[in-house]
Structure 1
């Protein structure tokens, strides 16, 4: 039996978003674009919120928009996110991600 498996941008974004939420120091995700901002206002936030997927030269890249906990080292949290997301994308989706960019767009007390 032969066939192919395709991972959609939405599925990859959900996997990455759920992974980012597991990282200590991440309070939540911020809307990655205007459409996500409207969805949040309407109470329709999803696991992929705060994740933007793009394809560059046949490789997936990801931008993550996070809200960090007050008092944490944001560079350390960002490195942990990049390492974990890269590992999860490889082991769970079979994908080697290109660039993974973490944007700390807010800080919040927990």
Structure 2
């Protein structure tokens, strides 16, 4: 096979966002910046909201900005997010993340 496969940062962010939404205790994702917040207010939210992909040398780093359910253990939810995101990115995209960092930016009753 002579071709190559490239996975864009946008596709990676979408994969990570979808994965994070599956974790019990995650209510949703939070805007990571003003531009994203304005897009959400204007009705253009998507699955990669709250996910910021950056590079640390040759590795990707994912920062996830989440809102968790009131009454859950935030450290447990964060650990579950990191484990599931790292596993999903490895198995579905073939990428080893340099780090997955969870930022709990809100708590909400569900």
With normalisation by structure 2, the TM-score equals 0.98
Shift of 1:55: 0.8
C-alpha RMSD of matched pairs (Å): 0.5
**How far off is 1:35 after superposition?**
1.3
Given the alignment of the two structures, is residue 99 of structure 1 paired with residue 73 of structure 2, yes or no? Answer: no
Structure 1 gap segments, 5+ residues each = none
Q: How many angstroms apart in 2 are the aligned matches of 1:92 and 1:34?
A: 30
TM-score by length of 1: 0.98
Question: Matched residue of 2:107: which SS?
Answer: strand
**Secondary structure at 2:103's aligned position in 1?**
strand
Matches within 5 A, 1:41-52: 41-52=41-52
The aligned residue for residue 7 of structure 1 is: 7
Q: By how many angstroms is 1:80 displaced?
A: 0.1
| SS of structure 2 residue aligned to 1:63 | strand
Partner of 2:67: 67
The number of residue pairs the alignment matches comes to 110
- Tell me the residue number matched to 1:20: 20
Q: 1:31 aligns to what?
A: 31
The structural deviation recorded for 1:99 is: 1.2
